[in-house]
Amino acid sequence: MSVSVPRVWVGRAIVALLAAFTVNLSLTVLEIDHDAPLVALLAAATVAVGVLTLEALDAQVHLPWTAPRPDARPNPGEDIRTMMYRHLVEVHETSRDADDAVLWQIADLARRRLRQVHGIRYADDPERVTELLGPLLSDLVSRDRRHRYLPDHRHERYSVAQLGDLVRRIEEL
């Protein structure tokens, strides 16, 4: 038993004695006939019940709202933007129609990551960007926003493995 536990109970006993003394003194001043030991016992019991009630209310385990899955991969350090892109890739994978939006979002992510990590843009050094990103990503990064959506041209629908390779390549920058 640790030293702090008796100190806690000594403090509570002192509070009970002070409560008993105050009640006995108040009853004596009011000239009410009372049994002093019984009042002291009642005050001690009241303090003990109050302390135990407070301890029981505080003893509940506070569970978090979410719990990590035991088979989940360790956190790769994704920020909110990367998580949004990952969600967009998942939506693309489950959609029935091919949508170019996922490609342009991946291209934006690659452009930002390239700028953050290596400090270059496609216009600065196209050969190095192609070397770092690969031919498909460098082709997507090279296009301007105004020239992305061509009404008569649809890009091919990329497989999950191909999109995963693009995102993996961005993560490896």
10 and 53 share one domain = yes
Encode pLDDT of 105-156 as tens digits.
888 888 888 888 888 888 888 888 888 888 888 888 887 766 666 666 666 7
Q: What pLDDT score was predicted for residue 29?
A: 92
> Which two three-digit tokens encode residue 66?
């979410």
3-state helix, strand, coil in the chain (%, to 5): 65, 0, 35
SS3 for 34?
coil
**Same domain for 46 and 101?**
no
How many domains is the chain built from?
Answer: 2
pLDDT attached to residue 1: 45
Instruction: Give yes or no: residues 87 and 52 share one domain.
Output: no
Structure confidence by residue, pLDDT tens digits, 31-67: 888 888 888 888 889 988 988 888 877 766 666 677 6
Q: Which tokens in the block code for residue 129?
A: 């960007």
- In a shared domain, residues 144 and 94: yes
pTM, entire model: 0.43
In this predicted structure, the answer to whether residue 73 has a pLDDT above a threshold of 70 is: no
How far is 120 from 2, CA to CA, in rounded Å? 62
In a domain, 127, yes or no: yes
Q: 83, exposed or middle or buried, with CB in 10 Å at 0-12, 13-18, 19+?
A: exposed
Whole-number pLDDT of residue 86: 76
Residue 140, pLDDT score: 82
Do residues 45 and 88 share a domain? no
pLDDT exceeds cutoff 60 at 2: no
